[in-house]
Amino acid sequence: MIGLAFVSPWIIGFLVFTLYPVIASFHYSLTDYAVLRPPRFVGLQNYITLLTRDEYFWRYAVYNTVFMFLGLPLGIGSGLCLAILLNQKLKGMAGFRALLYLPAVVPPVAGAMLWLWVFNPQYGLANSVMDILHLPKLNWLVDPQTAKPAMIFMDLWGVGGGMIITLAALQGVPAHLYEAALLDGAGVLTRFRHVTLPMISPVLFFQLIMGIIGTFQYFTSAMVMTRGGPGMATMFYALYLFNNAFQYFKMGYACAMAWILFAITLSLSLLVIWSGKRWVHYEGGER
């Protein structure tokens, strides 16, 4: 009983703030709930409407998926490249590590406001650099053609979190494996492919799973910077869900969107976990 009393704050918090909201959201997804009036049970109608009649649902779901396939490899690859560079034993390397990690701890809203200034077409830093390089200035977040690449480019600014995790993994690779590869005549690329990548593959696997989840929850930057514009070019799935819930007051509809989002994220995560059996290597051969 004493042990139960000690864990009771966590149990109560889990029941009230996690389990109940999950069950309630599923219940509301089966209703027509406009917040200002009692929910009316409609069964699977919200799901049927989303999957068969809502053209915007599919448009933003596909856009979010494309954003994931473009931005996620760039983010993981950039973090890996930076980690390899920062893994060198050079003077002042600790300062460079801290400097490159710093953007990862900047609050998302503050970072979005900063990038609003960077991408400003009149006096932003991005167009100032383009002018110095004698390149044509871009409208960035104002033009639908450049808004998507701008959002991806902005996300690369915060790869410091993944970089630190990958750097820790690189420093954990046993030195004797590199020595054995050198004795066998392996070059730099061969050592990287057959020693480095297999040894850090669990960390890359973790980043891939978390990246998939994070990409489909992409919300803050789009909400602060563009609100889905211009021309709905940056309307992410989570932002469309938010608009349905708190702008159009279609709470039941938004709950159905949330459960479909859960199903999509879970399916992609399970697919990555299944594929991980082929390319993720654990020390000792255990998973």
In a domain, 123, yes or no: no
> Structural domain of residue 57, as residue ranges?
45-109+160-285
The β-bridge partners of 206 are none
pLDDT tens column, 163-198: 999 999 999 999 999 999 998 888 999 999 999 999
- Farthest-apart Cα atoms in the chain, separation: 75
pLDDT of 286 above 60 = no
Task: Specify whether the CB–CB gap between 70 and 151 falls below 8 A.
Answer: no
In a domain, 89, yes or no: yes
The β-bridge partners of 31 are 41
Domain count, the chain: 1
Nearest CA to 156 out of 36, 37, 84, 71 is that of: 71
In a domain, 143, yes or no: no
Q: What was the pLDDT predicted at 69?
A: 92
pLDDT of 57 above 70 = yes
In a domain, 20, yes or no: no
For residue 88, how far is the Cα from the chain centroid?
Answer: 28
Q: How far apart are the first and last CA of the chain?
A: 35
Question: Which residues are within 8 A (CB) of 157 and not within 5 positions of it... i.e. 6 or more apart?
Answer: 103, 111, 115
- Which CATH number does the domain housing residue 57 bear? 1.10.3720.10
Q: What was the pLDDT predicted at 285?
A: 55
In a domain, 224, yes or no: yes
d(CA 162, CA 164): 5
In a domain, 19, yes or no: no
Phi, psi of 107 (to 5 degrees): -55, 140
Question: Which run of H or of E encompasses 224?
Answer: helix 220-225
Name the 3-class secondary structure at 274: helix
Counting residues of the chain whose pLDDT is more than 70, the rounded percentage is 98
In a domain, 124, yes or no: no
Read off the tokens for 54.
């809502």
In a domain, 174, yes or no: yes
Q: What was the pLDDT predicted at 229?
A: 86
pLDDT tens column, 76-116: 999 999 999 999 888 888 899 999 999 989 999 999 999 99
